[in-house]
Structure 1
Amino acid sequence: MTKVLMTFPHGKFKVLTLSYDDGRYADRRLVQLMNDYGIKGTFHLNSGLFGAKDRVPREDIAELFRGHEISAHTVTHPTIARCPKEQLVHEIMEDRMELESIAGYTVRGMSYPNGSFNKAIKEILPMLGIEYSRVTESTGGFGMPDDWHEWKPTCHHYRNRNLLHLTESFLAANKSQYLYMMYVWGHSYEFDNDNNWELIETFCARAGRRDDIWYATNIEIVDYVKSFHRLQFSASRSFVYNPSASPVWIQANGKIVEIGGGSEVQLT
């Protein structure tokens, strides 16, 4: 029988994604740096705070984050585990509606403001159209999440103080029987506060524009993994049908195979 393993697009087994909160002015410098090195990320925004103090104004949002993902972070950034459910629903749905009017696509992800969440919130999110949410607890590893609504990143860019060490470990990973995800999060204004822009510049220079890495936004990773799990394999795994619109790549008996959207592929 055919032995099947999931891969990322084009047979890659490593993915890199960044995740930054609050929509501060320093995002401009960060986005330019990411664009220069072909790195993609997700920016979690508070729609009720656009233009306040050092936050990016509404009229600049769409162009600034073009090519990246605009994601929810609630309207006003409350500690939501302390809020009534009515306020929680308002904060998320109003944020989604405003962000969607700017982005022109459905906003389906978020990060928890102040890292605040609980089991009840996680259970409500799917009913509010939120398919994933990032927490602040870091793993220090490169594993894939088993709970999209408690998505733990690899590291904060500075709090762990080992970003570049982790980057070298990620780049050196070469066992294709595994999938490796490096997920870095933070706030762009922290580079100004800590006077350490050279840290993220070095990271991007080392990790960017590599042929063996898939550079993706948070929602692109979610969508791709879900597309893989929607694949319909025959019992013998001799053929597979992809009901999704997007292609999925697998390793079948050691060979990389692309299964186009809406197509059936013989594996033996």
Structure 2
Amino acid sequence: MEHIYYCFPGGRHKALTFSYDDGKTPDRRLVDILNRAGLKGTFNLNGDKFGRDQRIAQSEVAALYAGHEVAAHSLTHPTLTRCPREMMVRQIVDDRRRLEDIVGYAVRGFAYPNGQHTPTLHRLLPELGIAYARTTISTCGLLLPDELMTWHPTCHHREDLISRAASFLERSKSQYLDLLSVWGHSIDFDNEGNWHIIEELAAMTRGNQDVWFATNIEIVDYLAAVERLQYTAACDRVHNPSAAPVWIRIDSRASSTPQRIVEVPGGATLTLA
């Protein structure tokens, strides 16, 4: 055995995710486009703003975002970096509580309101039950987030998305894990008259079996399960202490099958040699 690589679910090496802020009424059209293409997104909401400023009604949230992720975006959308620590805590925790009462699950994702963040917030968020926080800083790359409290997306949808998506879909080097992470505000499509961007992307990716379509939290939780895998020193056995399955790829010159995709079920111990 020479190499063991971890993979996305199903043995894939590419993933696509979306993160959209504020919960404005054009989310209805955006969600419909994503649903028809089998895509998944994360929607970052303010628990005290439903039904105001072109935002959707609270009564719509659970049904509209079913199958996607609802994440926090602060209770009232202040610039948190200008607020006292006590207000930061209330803005985040109260937003989580209101959203959780609506969707019925733990809200663990976050997007920084107005894009502003500091090391103080980075340290505070995990203490308040937040697993990751998305910024508005585009990397223009396909790397996985290396710091979950500063998850920099690939690009805003207006930043040459179709060209980036085409290059992403064409990539065949499976020694890399590629993540295309798109962010924005659905109301931008209305304001800028460019719904064709997301519609074209949906058409490009619909049914693509080589890409894992996931929410932000699904990616975070999967990578955490990957990190929890326990290997022997010889890497000839692996134990998965998590409940969720994890996929790995084994490259071997000594085997009749030089490359194998192996699913490691939750709770299982497998011999790899």
TM-score range, shorter chain: over 0.9
Which residue of 1 is the match for residue 155 of structure 2? 155
Match of 1:172, as an amino acid? E
Which residue of 2 is the match for residue 261 of structure 1? 266
Aligned equivalents of 1:150, 1:66: Cα separation in 2 = 26
Which residue of 1 is the match for residue 95 of structure 2? 95
Please, what is the CA RMSD of the aligned residues? 0.7
Deviation at 1:203, TM superposition (A): 1.1
Which residue of 2 is the match for residue 206 of structure 1? 204
SS in 1 for 2:48: helix
Aligned equivalents of 2:105, 2:207: Cα separation in 1 = 27
Aligned equivalents of 2:169, 2:210: Cα separation in 1 = 9
Match of 2:265, as an amino acid? G
Deviation at 1:252, TM superposition (A): 1.6
SS in 2 for 1:15: strand
TM superposition score normalised by structure 2: 0.96
Which residue of 2 is the match for residue 216 of structure 1? 214
Which residue of 1 is the match for residue 46 of structure 2? 46
Which residue of 2 is the match for residue 187 of structure 1? 185
Deviation at 1:208, TM superposition (A): 2.5
SS in 1 for 2:52: coil
Tell me the alpha carbon deviations over residues 184-221 of structure 1, each in whole angstroms, 9 at most, x when there is no partner. 00000000000111111111111222010000000000
Deviation at 1:251, TM superposition (A): 0.6
Which residue of 2 is the match for residue 169 of structure 1? 167
Match of 1:259, as an amino acid? V
> Does residue 23 of structure 2 align to residue 23 of structure 1?
yes
Aligned equivalents of 1:53, 1:4: Cα separation in 2 = 51
Aligned equivalents of 2:161, 2:76: Cα separation in 1 = 30
Contact map agreement 1:61 1:102 (CA 8 A) in 2: yes
Which residue of 1 is the match for residue 85 of structure 2? 85
Aligned equivalents of 1:235, 1:103: Cα separation in 2 = 43
Aligned equivalents of 1:9, 1:122: Cα separation in 2 = 29
Matches within 5 A, 1:117-136: 117-136=117-136
Aligned equivalents of 2:182, 2:207: Cα separation in 1 = 17
Tell me the alpha carbon deviations over residues 171-193 of structure 1, each in whole angstroms, 9 at most, x when there is no partner. 00100000000000000000000
SS in 2 for 1:205: helix
Aligned equivalents of 1:88, 1:119: Cα separation in 2 = 13
Aligned equivalents of 1:53, 1:232: Cα separation in 2 = 49
Structure 1 unaligned spans of 5+? none
Aligned equivalents of 1:177, 1:197: Cα separation in 2 = 34
SS in 1 for 2:15: strand
Moved over 3 A (4+): none
Higher deviation after alignment, 239-248 or 202-211: 202-211
Aligned equivalents of 1:102, 1:232: Cα separation in 2 = 37
Match of 1:226, as an amino acid? A
Aligned equivalents of 2:53, 2:142: Cα separation in 1 = 36
Deviation at 1:2, TM superposition (A): 4.9
Contact map agreement 1:79 1:116 (CA 8 A) in 2: yes
Aligned equivalents of 2:106, 2:215: Cα separation in 1 = 14
Match of 1:201, as an amino acid? E
Aligned residues, how many?
266
Match of 2:230, as an amino acid? Q
> Does residue 244 of structure 2 align to residue 246 of structure 1?
yes
